[in-house]
Amino acid sequence: MSNKIWGGRFADRPDAVLEEINASIDFDRELAAHDIAGSLAHVAMLEKTGIVAKADAEAIRDALGRIHGEIEKGAFSFSRELEDIHMNIESRLTELIGPAAGRLHTARSRNDQVAVDFRLYIRAAIDAIDAAIRALQTALAEKALAHAGSVMPGFTHMQPAQPITFGHHLLAYVEMLGRDRSRFKDARARLNECPLGAAALAGTSFPIDRAATAKTLGFDRPTANSLDSVSDRDFVIETLAAAALCAVHLSRLAEEIVLWASPQFGFVRLSDRFSTGSSIMPQKRNPDAAELVRAKSGRIIGALTALLIVLKGLPLAYSKDLQEDKEGTFDALETLSLCLAATTGMISDLEPDVARMKAAAGAAYATATDLADYLVRELGLPFRDAHRVTGRLVALAAKKNVGLEKLSLAELKTVEPRLTKAALSVLGVENSVASRTSYGGTAPANVAAAAKKWLAALGKRG
């Protein structure tokens, strides 16, 4: 028995191994609702242009609605022999209404059918991800506003550098996520063209109205070239690229949460809702949610890499290789959504130890730059000279094993005689952060204003 989809050309049925490697229904059933939406738009256009009679179009519409209901209720029987979601739905359509079902495939191919299904899926996924990123931005901005003046160490090279505020640190991630949303928005704008009607690769001789189907499905316009329409997966690549970078941002934040929650840092405490215990060590509180967000970025980056490799050697137009575009994409976008939800939960519940952070902010001579700036501002030293003087003072404090603020005025004067008692005032961490008033700086007033501005943009009252 030959394959009943395309078996007219073949005398024997496919080998079992071919059927196994060829079937995609196990994963592309994810496209069922989008496939039905595309078919409803297509049959409406076929009826309007007179290509399909009204009675047949109505029968197809009614049956597609019934199939959609069966799938939603879990009552639909998927068959691997029918290869993919398109033929599974068409086969059931034939069972319900007979030969009239065959008219639905007029002026289209599975090539443009899957292309429109996938664009609809990606578009919906982007909209859901955008909402999830916005929720995380809101949680971060709210926490930043609450801790606009909470001092913590800022790091470079993972070494204490200068005091900053916890709110300022959190707002850095709000900015990153804002760029992520912008990238997804750009990808969505470019994908919003409809390939339906490109057929297999060359278009069709039927008098179809591609603008009508594009409008029905919410696309801006039809795609302009039939070859490109069925072979293009740029829209998936762009979306995965945005997803991969967003996952990297989440991973960086997750790494910091892991560090901050450790006893060695002790900067934050994660709630029980986002911590786990140990099967052997009763005292443990493990930041597993953060660790898994950090790890899952690899899956998302891997999906992008895999699809780039699939596409790199493909000639125009459609090749079966493109069946490999879906599993990784479905997994990547679902994984990103999960990571965004987990991170939002962690941030919302997270409680910083303000006293511990402030104490750490003053360690390791973190206000040395403030002293150097003071020397430039008050004594008129060139910055390089001020840097050298401050370095000598740091060396003196290190030799005595005390902080810069613990040096006496007499000791300061052994290095720079013109220093006065006023110099000691710049060595406090709160004075340090308060002085960073340049645009984008960590001064608490700046941070509070930036957090309020973000919350307003995100639709929340700060």
Residues belonging to the active site = 157, 278
Q: How many other C-beta atoms lie within 10 A of the C-beta of residue 399?
A: 8
Distance of CA 131 to the CA centre of its chain: 11
**Rounded distance, CA 41 to CA 216, Å?**
6
443 within 8 A of 437, measured Cβ to Cβ: yes
Determine the 3-state secondary structure of 11 from DSSP.
Answer: coil
What is the token pair recorded at 272? 């029980």
User: How many angstroms separate the CA atoms of 223 and 160, rounded?
Assistant: 53
Q: How far is CA 294 from the centre of its chain?
A: 13
Count CB atoms within 10 A of the CB of residue 129: 22
- Cα dihedral across residues 80, 81, 86, 91: positive or negative: negative
Sign of CA dihedral 267, 273, 279, 283: positive
The dihedrals phi and psi of 10, each to the nearest 5 degrees, come to -120, 145
- Helix (H, G, I), strand (E, B), or coil: what is residue 255? helix
Q: 3-class DSSP state for residue 362? A: coil
Q: Which of 229, 263, 249 is nearest to 293 (CA)?
A: 249
Helix axes 166-191, 444-457, angle to 10 degrees: 30
189 alpha carbon, distance to own chain's centre: 16
